[in-house]
Amino acid sequence: MLTINTALLSFGMSGKVFHAPFIAVHKGFHLMGSWERSQKNIQQIYPNTTSYPTLESLLDDKKVQLVIVNTPNQTHYHYAKAAMLAGKDVIVEKAFTTTVQEAIELKQLAKKLHRNISVYQNRRFDSDCRTLQAVLKQGLLGEIVDAEFRYDRYKPVIGPKQHKETAGAGAGLLNDLGPHLIDQTITLFGMPQQVFADIRITRPHSQVDDSFELLLYYPTMRVRLKSGMFVREATPANVLQGTKGSFIKNRGDVQETKLLDGLKPGSEDWGVETAATYGLLHTEIEGIIFKDKIPSAVGNYLDFYEEYYQAVNTGSPMPVTCDEAIDIMKIIEAAIKSNDEKRVVSVSEL
């Protein structure tokens, strides 16, 4: 069995919670270590790993085959490029880059150097998105007319992470949580034709956007994407309205909570939601009105790494392709343009 020697570019929350646990349990990967600038923590959890003091020392390690670029957004392009030029394959955290042009350049470089590249859109593999996919696949709602997806928080105080709270390329809520909502939308419905956006700063003294609402135009439907920092009482995160009925579901995926509690993926109930977070389906099935909660699909971020492993070994599609990541960047750029110019922007303009 081929083993992919893998190293992280940081071991903060992203590395510790969303990457290392899955790399460690998947038999097709071997966790080599992480670049750690000041605090040296990876060996406390994974004793047989290396704490690389510099990026250069990590890239110079000939045993490292795959680099996880899980650093601040504004560094993704430069670090992914450096890793590929050093002969490494890369998985880049969302947001893929800070511009469409950077995303296109990384795709072209990967093709030129024959390097594997994917983007870690893990929420595509959670129970919420998979449940929505199942409802749509079964045609339970008829033709979809409207959809609304939200990713809200209550965080009125400026956070301590300077790369997220300091104005600049890749900063702000649209670049932080927007890629999750946009990727889910593209996964479910494909690319929209047009975008209208309202992007705001709502927290006192904030330097970056912390609230946004995007309206995505499709030929026969509309999708609204919302996120904000002043939502103490959350409204349903996932709403589908169709010609036959409705599906409403709160955010319910349990994986992040378990990972933050230090639990490792692989247990029987991994990714299984409790009944309290099941979605409500109210529709008509074969002439009979149905209104009840339905069980959620099982989420599993490990499937991202399994699909990546299969792609490398068999040539199957990457779990998230560069083209899909470029499409996300196009919608983000269209949203920024729409907000600046106060108009509906066609995605084809970009």
Contact at 8 Å (CB) between 118 and 319? yes
pLDDT confidence of residue 226: 98
pLDDT confidence of residue 167: 84
pLDDT confidence of residue 166: 85
Please list the alpha-helical segments (H only) found in the chain.
Answer: 13, 20-25, 42-45, 55-59, 76-85, 100-113, 127-137, 162-165, 173-176, 178-189, 255-260, 302-314, 322-341
Contact at 8 Å (CB) between 7 and 64? yes
Q: Which domains does the chain have, with CATH numbers?
A: 4-120 (3.40.50.720), 123-299+331-349 (3.30.360.10)
pLDDT confidence of residue 125: 97
Over residues 53-74, the pLDDT tens digits come to 999 999 999 999 999 999 999 9
pLDDT confidence of residue 168: 85
Distance CA 253, CA 258 (A): 10
How many other C-beta atoms are found inside a 10 Å radius of the C-beta of residue 40? Answer: 12
pLDDT confidence of residue 310: 97
CA distances from 230 to 151, 201, 203, 224 (A): 11, 11, 8, 18
Local mean pLDDT, 10-residue blocks, the chain (350 residues): 94 96 97 94 96 98 98 97 98 97 98 98 97 97 98 90 83 96 98 98 94 98 97 95 98 94 90 96 95 97 98 96 97 98 92
Over residues 76-104, the pLDDT tens digits come to 999 999 999 999 999 999 999 999 999 99
